[in-house]
Structure 1
Amino acid sequence: MSTESLTEAPASVEVVYVGQEQPESWDAAVYLCGPTPTDPEEPSWRPSAVAALRAAWDGAGRLAVFLPEPTADGSYPPYADQIAWEEEAMRRSDVVLFWIPREMNRLPGLVSNIKWGVWYDSGRAVLGAPPEAERMAYLLHFAEAFGVPVERTLQEAAGAALRAVGRGSRRTGGERAVPLVVWRSERFQRWYATLRSAGCRLLDARLEWYKQAAAPDGEPAWLLTIIVAPVDGAVPSVHRLLSAQGQGMLM
């Protein structure tokens, strides 16, 4: 496992750089999404984001922070491997924190637009951009439409990400693939308690669809594809768990 521990327990932050393995467990996970400078003389914004998260994280457990950049003495993996690592890290993150200081002639962030299009309605996005960032109207429009937190400084964006995860909740192994927006759902926890009482294990999950609750005290709707290891050691099975219209059901 290749991670950098920035703070000691009980409140700890582990930075996971591109190509590195994920921690076996965490209480919250944040992915830092946005343009990466191509000029080696141009400093990345991500170390400042890590510093802001480290200073503000006070959850009683581990915060994993995914950076799609190599360590100072490392290098990027092959491009296809990099994309696969990024997609897997975003899939398992509780918050995808976008910071887009767009300058079209220096830091256009075109790939960030594509990623924003995937994640803006996931219930896990936070959007940050300085007031002078260029060509942000379209992104800001959909942030407002879907209730995505918007901040104008990097420190405030990091704070919004941590407010979204709260104190987190410890997840290990396959549980890490269930983001907090679903993990905290009463319907998921009832289903998972039944699964565990039967001696089965959750191997992996993928959130296929998510819709925020209509009322502040309501539960969101979601569809989760789940891989379960039976207690008898049989071949793992795939299930789809749907929570919508006030009920949950296994499909």
Structure 2
Amino acid sequence: MAVFLPEPTADGSNPPYADQIAWEEEAMRRSDVVLFWIPREMNRLPGLVSNIKWGVWYDSGRAVLGAPPEAERMAYLLHFAEAFWVPVERTLQEAAGAALRAVGRGSRRTGGERAVPLVVWRSERFQRWYATLRSAGCRLLDARLEWYEQAAAPDGEPAWLLTIMVAPGDGAVPSVHRLLSAQGQGMLM
């Protein structure tokens, strides 16, 4: 398991702001779970950037929201957590537990596989497509989740759209494709 944690270096310094933002975005893109812990106190710790990050990830199938009961101005975030079945916990320990439950046993992935969200990686449609890709000698170099919609039923499969970069087995130039799984069908576009 890897945990991406944006903290200052041992000497207390931070990278340039643009570099920090780029690092955070890439780390979240490659994360199977994005845990939001928001102990908001408007006078001391407003956490306003958290609203933006939450707005990007709440409907991704990867979010967990944690906030103590006394956290201020959380009604909007809690509303969307409920609407999109995002786990909500009221202590940091419980929020971390919810994130670990979401990952479950996880799945070992390397290289470009790490960019495929766990909720997609675990889907039968993706695994079928990926097995065909590998049997042709191709490698998955990168993936970006463009759209995600959770399954309508707990035992159903989510709908998703991935933009993927594939290296052909013959050494040709890598190519970009879109892979869609929606309404019970999967296809390469």
Range into which the TM-score falls when normalised by the shorter chain: over 0.9
TM-score, scaled to structure 1: 0.74
State the secondary structure of the residue aligned to 2:107.
coil
Q: Deviations over 1:78-136 (max 9, x none)?
A: 11111111000000000000000000010000000000000000000000000000000
Moved >3 Å (runs of 4+): none
State the secondary structure of the residue aligned to 2:180.
strand
State the secondary structure of the residue aligned to 1:64.
coil
CA distance in 1, matches of 2:135, 2:13: 45
State the secondary structure of the residue aligned to 1:171.
coil
Identity %, equivalent residues: 97
More strand by share: 1
Q: Deviations over 1:113-165 (max 9, x none)?
A: 00000000000000000000000000000000000000000000000000001
Q: 1:195 to 1:111 in 2, by over 3 A?
A: same
Alpha-carbon shift at residue 73 of structure 1 (Å): 2.3
CA distance in 1, matches of 2:154, 2:18: 41
Residue 185 (structure 2) pairs with residue 232 (structure 1): no
State the secondary structure of the residue aligned to 2:86.
coil
Alpha-carbon shift at residue 216 of structure 1 (Å): 1.1
Equivalent pairs, count: 189
Alpha-carbon shift at residue 232 of structure 1 (Å): 1.1
CA distance in 2, matches of 1:70, 1:106: 20
CA distance in 2, matches of 1:74, 1:174: 32
Unaligned runs of 5+ in 1: 1-62
CA distance in 1, matches of 2:12, 2:146: 34
Partner of 1:190: 128
CA distance in 1, matches of 2:60, 2:44: 29
Alpha-carbon shift at residue 76 of structure 1 (Å): 1.2
Alpha-carbon shift at residue 71 of structure 1 (Å): 3.0
CA distance in 1, matches of 2:12, 2:128: 44
* RMSD (CA atoms): 0.7
Partner of 1:179: 117
State the secondary structure of the residue aligned to 2:23.
helix
CA distance in 2, matches of 1:99, 1:154: 7
CA distance in 2, matches of 1:226, 1:74: 37
More helix by share: 2
Unaligned runs of 5+ in 2: none
State the secondary structure of the residue aligned to 2:2.
strand
Partner of 1:7: none
Alpha-carbon shift at residue 74 of structure 1 (Å): 4.7
Partner of 1:218: 156
Alpha-carbon shift at residue 72 of structure 1 (Å): 2.8
CA distance in 2, matches of 1:207, 1:74: 34
Q: Deviations over 1:184-208 (max 9, x none)?
A: 0000000000000000000000000
Alpha-carbon shift at residue 246 of structure 1 (Å): 0.2
Alpha-carbon shift at residue 224 of structure 1 (Å): 0.4
CA distance in 2, matches of 1:223, 1:149: 23
Which residue, 175, 182, 186 being the options, matches 1:248?
A: 186
